Structure 1
Amino acid sequence: MLPKSVPPAEPQPQTLNTKTTLTSFFTSLLQPRFSPQNPRTWILFTVLFIQILLLCNLRSFPSPSIPPPLPAAADTKRTTNTTGHHSYRTVYHSGSGKVFVYNLPDTFNQQIILNCDNLNPWSSRCDALSNDGFGRAATSLAGILPEDLLPAWHWTDQFVTEIIFHNRLINHKCRVMEPESATAFYIPFYAGLAVGKYLWFNSTAEERDRHCDMMLQWIQDQPFFKRSNGWDHFITMGRITWDFRRSKDRDWGSSCIYKPGIRNVTRLLIERNPWDYFDVGVPYPTGFHPRSKSDVTRWQSFVRERQRHALFCFAGAPRRAFRDDFRAILLSQCRDSGESCRAVNCTGTRCSNGTSAILETFLDSDFCLQPRGDSFTRRSIFDCMVAGSIPVFFWRRTAYLQYEWFLPGEPESYSVFIDRNAVKNGTLTVKNVLERFTKEEVRRMREKVIEYIPRLVYANTKQGLEGVNDAFDVAIEGVFKRIKEQEQPQFHKWK
């Protein structure tokens, strides 16, 4: 029985007549609306065309591959968090990517920190590794800094990026607890801290490689490492790259980077090998660790308004063991420049992890000289720039070929480059070069330095700074980007 609203069926001839009548009716009704002269016709056709185009493109997108599930044993390992900072049931989402943090055995991170008394052949490292790697509060800077910013300053060691990155990643908004959904995989191995005690005296090659060998044995058993051969994995190695590139047993350092298992892993280091794609240079930790965006803007205003009385400065120690030591030449030129230059002699360990004299000198100078250190880079670059002083470089590998993700793309916009050979042979003096810059040019360069301060510091918050990307954020975004680039078919990979 049909519903009351539906009329009973008509005889067949009448139905044909009715259809013909209805067709004529709708044709007469719609024809004027869909004529080529009616603009609504073109709008409708345009919308339909766009929808058809989108549907066709969607069909061409590759379907995500489903990785093999972790074995039950690995799932069991992931149910506990040794650091205790985060619930494993929470899942974050991010447009840039998602990161999975391996739950490495404590031998590779937490136990190293617990043995802080034995990480250095000369003294304890416990103070340096305290406060989540930031070190002791820099209370002696009182009177030099604005009082409200003093709690944001610490005596931070230059070799603690492994701790800083690990602590931030376990609280990262893009961290996922299920590896199936991860874009990138972080290996929280404290490689630099582990090898530090074996870099001097008569340690064997086996001792210097022991922790790295154990870590590689562990990570190469993980299914997601096997799936990609390490291409979507990254690690923080808190020393310079040369500490991990031993070619012969009798040479310096560990051979960790040369081992097959780490060949395809992206490595975040405070100094990179410019010719190794997998090395990424990240800023040395400084003493400034802002707790909020307001800390950053307050500090930027402070260094911008600071009255600077010296044209340039140099903080460092001569290398008397080297013939024609370039640092000694710079110290000599600084002394000869009178009040135009301020110097801090860092002979011995008096400048270790920074001193109030260094910060005060940088704050008081327009330019700061940055020759190479024991290697091509030095922490002083970042101490100088955080203080709003303009760096002067003598080797391009000191910064320009190191920290592309963190510094402006135009070197002349924030720094000065001087030919060191011209300084050595007396053709140029540093003072004469720097005096040529006008006040307006100096102001513009300083403003660029101040603009980039947030990208050079590591924030002292578990979740980062709201609305501001610090050095950690820039590094992680860069890792996500390069891993996505490596996934493209045209990207050449090797096994």
Structure 2
Amino acid sequence: MKRHNAAELPVPVSYGSERDAKTGKVDKMGGAKQGRGGGCCSLLWFMLVLSATVTMLVRHCYDSGLGQGAAGVVRIDPVPRPSYHTRKVNPVDRGGGRPSFSGSSPSPPVAGSMKPMLDSGGGSPSFSGHSPSPPDAGSAKPELLHESGGTASVPVTVDNKSSPSDSSTGTESDGGGEPSSTSSLPAAAHPFARALAAADDKGDRCGGRYVYVQELPPRFNTDMVKNCATLFPWTDMCAFTANGGFGPQMSGGDGGVFQETGWYNSDQYTVDIIFHDRIRRYECLTDDPSLAAAVYVPFFAGLEVARHLWGFNVTTRDAMALEVVDIITARPEWRAMGGRDHFFTAGRTTWDFRRLNDGDADWGSKLFCLPAINNMTALVVEASPWHLNDAAIPFPTAFHPASDEAVFVWQDKIRRLERPWLFSFAGAARPGSAKSIRSELIAQCRASSICSLMECADGPSNKCGSPASYMRLFQSSTFCLQPQGDSYTRKSAFDAMLAGCIPVFFHPGTAYVQYTWHLPKNHADYSVYISEDDVRRNASIEERLRRIPPATVERMRETIIALIPTVVYAQPSSKLDTMKDAFDVTMDAIIDKVTRLRRDIVEGHAEEEKLEMYSWKYPLLREGQKVDDPHEWDPLFAFA
């Protein structure tokens, strides 16, 4: 790990004249006073003053950049911070407009329900409970925006009190605003100028990649892992928080389904721990925030909210969210960009953090509804299609390779497998949801001689209870059906890809508008899309899949096999040499996002005014396309 200490770099030094403590007069000679006697003392004082003057001149030249040849670091003088303004968005988004679905989505859990759903991840039981689904057109729709129902220009509230403005910096004192998208200041005048200069330093292998870790008390992170028995009301999570969040190690290859090493029974909601463990070993950490390309906030938001989703009032659910905002917005690192260079993990679905009302029966916390958090990048396993600053990253799978060779061996294995089933489905029906198409999928699979069905259920009859069971199914199938889970997404989609099984999606919210950093923009390269409406109209899934030419199937499988490194989380104690895993891809995307924003500010480019109601569409745009151009999925993400 390369840790960059600020003490190793030249820093701005202020050289001022000394002031006499009694008279208050400034002594231009640095405090040296000559007496009337002259003589040897006068000569001695003259030599001392001359020496001090030469030393000051040399240090001044160094600080001015004349002495930096070897270090390659430009001195950045302290300057007034740039003014901030709040991002403009479409009024329907901030003003309480309600998104609606014309597609299907399962219903949210009943308030006060104490029973977790099993099939949240491709056959494997979820030991962390499930999230409410996004709203659909036929249900009472929760707001997906700020809890205030007003415009984005409201100040950040901490502990339910508005913070006053800081007139000296032009910011709100809690940092709720954002940097101006245009600037007349020179590049060196920006508080992030050193970070941009480092990015241009070709001699620094970490230039442009430094990450500063924010300081937080351990109760916001590691204390939760120490108290793992309290993370979930029905299951002791200590087994699944072990091994850096990977969970219990699986050995012996389980009858040839896995390799001998690198496989774990990972829970789908431990991304907070996995990321933290990797950040601790990140090779380009720095102790100097002015050099950082991004700032990591080690708040385990996913673990924290899971402790209080069932049986706790909203005051308890929001307490730590409000506290962490209070802490990070008071830090000097926040001032540089109003938090837009900050990121954190919230390893559950976005819906667990978007409660707008303050009734105890309403689901989740309001963490993502706090304006300060909307300036940051929140890493979740499922993002909102209507919000710009949460980003979806892959669910953890069972594979956590320790080397490139482990990945190559696995890729070769699944490339050679015989796949007797054309398609398969692992999951449970949703009899209580009128919108779910799972019953139709199960019926079609049962009626087909070339489909394998693995039904999940409560109790001992559950066939999806271990990673080996559903991974064996996926390894024997060409296509794997991936309908929506308890919300849009399913861990099962990543399990299927890990097995070399081509996923079949029925709603774009399950993958296409989610994992845009990790999956190809052209979804036809690696998957099949059949709309939910087609399934409801009794379109034959078997016929659709049979019509795909063998050469196309082979090309799609090779694309999936090549994607495997980017959708798994490698061992933190080792490093993949020739490939990037899900963590690496995520870090590159965050740093690129912050760096582009900083360069736009320095160059005076106006930041693109994005409408959050079209957040799902921006990553899909191709050359020359506009966000308001018609898209086939517009009805699925339409605002009522």
* Fold agreement, TM-score > 0.5: yes
Deviation at 1:474, TM superposition (A): 0.2
- Tell me, yes or no, if the aligned pair for 2:214 and 2:295 is still in contact at 8 Å: yes
Deviation at 1:253, TM superposition (A): 0.5
| Partner amino acid, structure 2, of 1:172 | Y
Task: Give the equivalent residue in structure 1 for 2:304.
Answer: 194
- Tell me, yes or no, if the aligned pair for 2:294 and 2:591 is still in contact at 8 Å: yes
Cα deviation, 1:13-44, whole Å, max 9, x if unaligned, reads xxxxxxxxxxxxxxxxxxxxxxxxxxxxxxxx
The answer as to 2:351 corresponding to 1:242 is yes
The answer as to 2:328 corresponding to 1:203 is no
The answer as to 2:239 corresponding to 1:130 is no
Tell me the distance in 2 between the aligned counterparts of 1:63 and 1:206: 44
* CA spacing shift, 1:95–1:388, aligned 2, 3 Å: farther
The answer as to 2:194 corresponding to 1:63 is no
Task: Give the equivalent residue in structure 1 for 2:484.
Answer: 372
Deviation at 1:62, TM superposition (A): 2.5
- Tell me, yes or no, if the aligned pair for 2:277 and 2:572 is still in contact at 8 Å: no
Tell me the distance in 2 between the aligned counterparts of 1:268 and 1:439: 37
Q: Secondary structure at the match of 2:474?
A: helix
Deviation at 1:491, TM superposition (A): 4.7
Q: Secondary structure at the match of 1:360?
A: helix
Task: Give the equivalent residue in structure 2 for 1:321.
Answer: 432
Task: Give the equivalent residue in structure 2 for 1:142.
Answer: 254
The answer as to 2:279 corresponding to 1:154 is no
More helix by share: 1
- Tell me, yes or no, if the aligned pair for 2:429 and 2:438 is still in contact at 8 Å: yes
Deviates more, 1:127-136 or 1:207-216: 207-216
Task: Give the equivalent residue in structure 2 for 1:287.
Answer: 398
Q: Secondary structure at the match of 2:260?
A: helix
Tell me the distance in 2 between the aligned counterparts of 1:135 and 1:481: 31
| Aligned counterpart in structure 1 of residue 339 of structure 2, from 230, 235, 243 | 230
Q: Secondary structure at the match of 1:368?
A: strand
Q: Secondary structure at the match of 1:268?
A: strand
Deviation at 1:461, TM superposition (A): 2.8
Tell me the distance in 1 between the aligned counterparts of 2:532 and 2:553: 21
Tell me the distance in 2 between the aligned counterparts of 1:301 and 1:492: 45
Deviation at 1:323, TM superposition (A): 2.5
Tell me the distance in 1 between the aligned counterparts of 2:593 and 2:574: 23
Cα deviation, 1:373-403, whole Å, max 9, x if unaligned, reads 0100010010000100000000011111001
Deviation at 1:66, TM superposition (A): 5.0
Deviation at 1:140, TM superposition (A): 6.8
| Partner amino acid, structure 1, of 2:343 | F
- Tell me, yes or no, if the aligned pair for 1:156 and 1:353 is still in contact at 8 Å: no
Pair member with larger Rg = 1
- Tell me, yes or no, if the aligned pair for 1:314 and 1:369 is still in contact at 8 Å: yes
- Tell me, yes or no, if the aligned pair for 1:485 and 1:491 is still in contact at 8 Å: no
Tell me the distance in 1 between the aligned counterparts of 2:433 and 2:325: 38
- Tell me, yes or no, if the aligned pair for 1:168 and 1:463 is still in contact at 8 Å: no
* CA spacing shift, 1:64–1:166, aligned 2, 3 Å: farther
* CA spacing shift, 1:61–1:447, aligned 2, 3 Å: farther
Deviation at 1:117, TM superposition (A): 0.6
TM-score by length of 2: 0.61
Cα deviation, 1:431-485, whole Å, max 9, x if unaligned, reads 1111111221111110111011110000013353112100000000000000012
| Partner amino acid, structure 1, of 2:429 | P
| Aligned counterpart in structure 1 of residue 324 of structure 2, from 215, 222, 232 | 215
Deviation at 1:156, TM superposition (A): 0.3
Task: Give the equivalent residue in structure 2 for 1:492.
Answer: 607
Task: Give the equivalent residue in structure 1 for 2:529.
Answer: 417
Tell me the distance in 2 between the aligned counterparts of 1:467 and 1:246: 42
- Tell me, yes or no, if the aligned pair for 2:351 and 2:364 is still in contact at 8 Å: yes
| Partner amino acid, structure 1, of 2:501 | S
| Aligned counterpart in structure 2 of residue 311 of structure 1, from 422, 425, 438 | 422
The answer as to 2:259 corresponding to 1:259 is no
Q: Secondary structure at the match of 1:369?
A: strand
Q: Which runs of 5+ in 1 are unaligned?
A: 1-59, 70-91
- Tell me, yes or no, if the aligned pair for 1:167 and 1:462 is still in contact at 8 Å: no
Task: Give the equivalent residue in structure 1 for 2:580.
Answer: 469
Tell me the distance in 1 between the aligned counterparts of 2:463 and 2:398: 13
Greater relative CO (CA pairs within 8 A, separation 6+): 2
| Aligned counterpart in structure 2 of residue 333 of structure 1, from 427, 444, 450 | 444
Deviation at 1:123, TM superposition (A): 1.7
Q: Which runs of 5+ in 2 are unaligned?
A: 1-184, 195-203, 610-640
Q: Secondary structure at the match of 1:63?
A: helix
Write out aligned runs for 1:355-366 (5 A): 355-366=467-478
Deviation at 1:64, TM superposition (A): 5.9
| Partner amino acid, structure 2, of 1:400 | Y
Tell me the distance in 1 between the aligned counterparts of 2:374 and 2:534: 40
- Tell me, yes or no, if the aligned pair for 1:464 and 1:470 is still in contact at 8 Å: no
TM-score by length of 1: 0.79
* CA spacing shift, 1:66–1:324, aligned 2, 3 Å: closer
Tell me the distance in 2 between the aligned counterparts of 1:463 and 1:101: 21
Task: Give the equivalent residue in structure 2 for 1:106.
Answer: 218
Write out aligned runs for 1:476-487 (5 A): 476-487=587-598
Write out aligned runs for 1:423-462 (5 A): 423-426=535-538, 428-462=539-573
**Aligned length in residues:** 408
Deviates more, 1:381-390 or 1:323-332: 323-332
Tell me the distance in 1 between the aligned counterparts of 2:526 and 2:192: 46
Tell me the distance in 2 between the aligned counterparts of 1:321 and 1:421: 19
Tell me the distance in 2 between the aligned counterparts of 1:403 and 1:66: 32
* CA spacing shift, 1:99–1:111, aligned 2, 3 Å: same
Tell me the distance in 1 between the aligned counterparts of 2:556 and 2:411: 14
Q: Secondary structure at the match of 2:363?
A: coil
* CA spacing shift, 1:485–1:67, aligned 2, 3 Å: closer
- Tell me, yes or no, if the aligned pair for 2:403 and 2:574 is still in contact at 8 Å: no
| Aligned counterpart in structure 2 of residue 182 of structure 1, from 286, 292, 295 | 292
* CA spacing shift, 1:103–1:343, aligned 2, 3 Å: same
Tell me the distance in 2 between the aligned counterparts of 1:367 and 1:68: 50
- Tell me, yes or no, if the aligned pair for 1:306 and 1:363 is still in contact at 8 Å: yes
RMSD: 2.1
